[in-house]
Chain A
Amino acid sequence: QVQLEQFGAEVKKPGASVKVSCQTSGYTFTAYNIHWVRQAPGQGLEWMGWIDAGNGYRRYSQKFQGRVTITRDTSANTVYMELDSLRSEDTAVYYCAREVNAFDYWGQGTLVTVSS
């Protein structure tokens, strides 16, 4: 079955970077796009960007352009999202989601807390 696994939680200080992983299984990794969506506490969903797992093409939300990098490792069927220059407003659950016309499978989310 299709699975997107996200592990653990992260606590970071303002100004630091965080790299979150999304390990996939149960389908052909290179056939789908993977997106990153975050959700601040008590708030709605916010799209950050995506990567074509097949060719590596990436596109980011204008809001995060220059601060976010999405990469993939085809040998490990894993996608990564790195967010730089963290600030308190970046405290959120970060989800990866598979996409074909819509976000059909989601990871469990990784809580990233930014606090001094």
Chain B
Amino acid sequence: QAGLTQPPSVSKGLRQTATLTCTGNSTNVGYQGTAWLQQHQGHPPKLLSYRNNNRPSGISERFSASRSGNTASLTITGLQPEDEADYYCSAWDNSLTAWVFGAGTKLTVL
């Protein structure tokens, strides 16, 4: 099944801002929006945002999401060492009637 497209890796310096992207189409990202998940090695994923820019309680305001057309973005400001992780986008695909994921972006904080 077709997934969402994410860059494999992004590297940014400490306290800088990173923007991760996720490209889909009108039946997934452009349909009901995107959720973003963070996963540290050896741990399950953790929800950071959903329906484009809703943050679950306890998630730092440093994480903000947005969408423009069929591309979603996750912006992380003031990068910290603990932000180094894999980031996945996910969306419901109304054409496939299935949930789809991006392949993930590995964020390195230099």
Contacts and interface: CB of A to CB of B under 8 A. Distances in A.
A107 B44 CA distance: 7
Given A61-B1, A63-B1, A103-B37, A45 B88 contact: yes
For the side of the interface on A, what is the size category?
A: 20 to 34
Interface stretch (B11-19, B70-78, B97-105): B97-105
B45 to A, nearest CB: 6
A44 B103 contact: yes
B97 A106 contact: no
A75 interface: no
Contact of A61 (B50, B51, B98): B98
Given A45-B90, A103-B35, A103-B45, A62 B101 contact: no
A84 to B, nearest CB: 20
A59 interface: yes
B52 to A, nearest CB: 10
Nearest to A109: B44
A108 B101 contact: no
B44 A102 contact: no
Contacts of B99: 35, 47, 50
B33 to A, nearest CB: 9
A44 B56 contact: no
A47 B90 CA distance: 10
A44 B51 CA distance: 21
Interface in B36-68: 37, 44-47, 50-51, 54, 56
Contacts of A104: 47, 50, 56
B108 to A, nearest CB: 16
A116 interface: no
12 contacts: A35-B99, A37-B101, A44-B88, A44-B103, A44-B104, A45-B45, A45-B90, A101-B32, A102-B35, A104-B56, A106-B44, A108-B44
Interface of B: 1, 32, 35, 37, 44-47, 50-51, 54, 56, 88, 90, 96-104
